[in-house]
Structure 1
Amino acid sequence: MNVSTPRDGYGVLTEPATLTIQRVLPGPIDRVWAYLTQGELRRQWLASGEMTLEVGAKFELVWRNDELTTPPGPRPEGFTGRHEMESEITEVDPPHRLAFTWGRSGGVSFELSEQGKHVVLTVTHHRLPDPAMLLSVSAGWHMHLDVLAARLSGTEPEPFWDGIARLRAEYTRRLSA
C-alpha cells in the first residue's frame, strides 16, 4: 500500500478499523531501525523490552510514559505510571519491516524506506476492535511518533501527557467527521 504522508502528520483510516500514520525522520535507516528494535532506545519514545528479531519470538513491552518527556505533564485519569503487554513478532525484514501482535487488536507493523538522507516510517495498526481503542491508538501513536522524531532530531518534545490531551481532542474531531 502506498499511503502518502499527510502534511499535518495525523494518522488516517486506511480501512474502517486500521490506522496508518507516517513520519519522515532523519536517517540513516539503521539508526531508525535501532530505535524500533533495541529496548533501551525504544524506551526513549515508546516502551522498553528486549526482543529477539525472529518470527514467533515473544517479548514484553513496558510503558513508562511519565519518563518520556521532562516534564511529562499531568497524567489523565485512567492512566497508570506503568503498563505491560505481551507481544509476538509476526514479521521481520531488517531494516525495512517489523510487525508484531498488539493486545486485542490485529497487530502493528512498521515499514521503513529511505528517502535521500531521511527515512519514511509507516506505522499501521490493524483491526482495532472498537471506536474507543481507535481513538486511544490514534492519539497514542501520534504522540509517541512525535517523541521519536524529537529524539532523532536532537530536540525536546512537548510534555507527553499535554500532547496526548491535545491529540485526543483532535482525533475525536477527525474520527467523528
Structure 2
Amino acid sequence: MDRGTFIEHEGRPAVRFQRTYAHPVDRLWAAITRTEDLAHWFPSKVALEGEVGGTVSFSHDPNVDDDHGTVLAYDPPHRLAFTWGGDELHFELAPAAGGCTLTLINVLEARDTAARNAAGWAVCLAELGKYVADGSADGPHSDSAEPWRPLYEAYVAAGMPSGAPIPGA
C-alpha cells in the first residue's frame, strides 16, 4: 500500500498523500476541479466555484449528509484548498519527470479520524489513478474500488490515530 502519513499541518492533525502520475499538471488540475472529473474518484458529487471565497457543494455521498464548504485557495493549475465540514482539503500539483506530482493534505477536525480518512483517501486516490490513466474508474463507492476496511485496519495496525465512528458501521 502506498501509505498516507499522519502529520501536523499548521498545528492541526492531518494526513498527507503524495502521488506521481504520468500525466501533465493540466490533466490532474481538471481531475481535481471539474465536477464531471471529480465524479469518477471523489467520495461526493462536487460543484466548485473556482475562486477564493467561492462555495463548494458536496452531495450524493452515501456516508455523509449533503454539505457545503468554502474555497480557501485557488491558483490554477497548481493549488486548490477548501473546507469540508470541520476538515480542510489541500491539493498541490507540481510538474515531475514524465508527469506531475499531486500532494493531498486532509487537515482533520479531530485527531481520531486520521486512520478512517487516510483509508478513504487511499481508495479515492487509487480511483483517481485509474481515471486519469484510462477513464475506467467507477468511483470510491463502487464494487470495483479497492476495499476500504483492509486499508483502515492497516493504518490502525501501523499506529495511526483512530477511534472515530465509522459511517455505516
Instruction: Normalising by structure 1, report the TM-score.
Output: 0.77
Question: How many Å apart are 1:175 and its aligned residue?
Answer: 2.8
- Work out the number of aligned pairs and report it: 152
Alignment correspondent of 1:10: 3
Alignment correspondent of 1:52: 49
From 120, 124, 136, the counterpart of 1:140:
120
- How far apart, CA to CA, are the structure 2 residues paired with 1:81 and 1:55? 27
- How far apart, CA to CA, are the structure 2 residues paired with 1:129 and 1:99? 18
- How far apart, CA to CA, are the structure 1 residues paired with 2:72 and 2:86? 15
1:53 partner SS: coil
Q: Is the 8 A contact 1:22 1:123 kept in 2?
A: yes
Unaligned runs of 5+ in 1: 1-7, 65-79
Q: How many percent of aligned residue pairs carry the same amino acid?
A: 25
Determine which structure has the larger strand proportion and give its number: 2
- How far apart, CA to CA, are the structure 2 residues paired with 1:176 and 1:81? 22
Unaligned runs of 5+ in 2: 138-142, 162-169
1:49 partner SS: strand
Query: Cα deviation per residue 1:126-168 (whole Å; 9 max; x = unaligned)?
Result: 144131x2122111111100000011112756733x5211211
Q: 1:155 to 1:117 in 2, by over 3 A?
A: same
- Could you say what the CA RMSD is over the residues aligned between the two structures, in angstroms? 2.2
- How far apart, CA to CA, are the structure 2 residues paired with 1:175 and 1:84? 31
Alignment correspondent of 1:93: 75
Q: Is the 8 A contact 2:6 2:114 kept in 1?
A: no
- How far apart, CA to CA, are the structure 2 residues paired with 1:145 and 1:164? 12
Query: Cα deviation per residue 1:55-102 (whole Å; 9 max; x = unaligned)?
Result: 0011212244xxxxxxxxxxxxxxx36742211100011000000012
Q: Is the 8 A contact 1:30 1:95 kept in 2?
A: yes
Instruction: Normalising by structure 2, report the TM-score.
Output: 0.80
Equivalent residue runs for 1:64-103 within 5 Å: 64=61, 80=62, 83-103=65-85
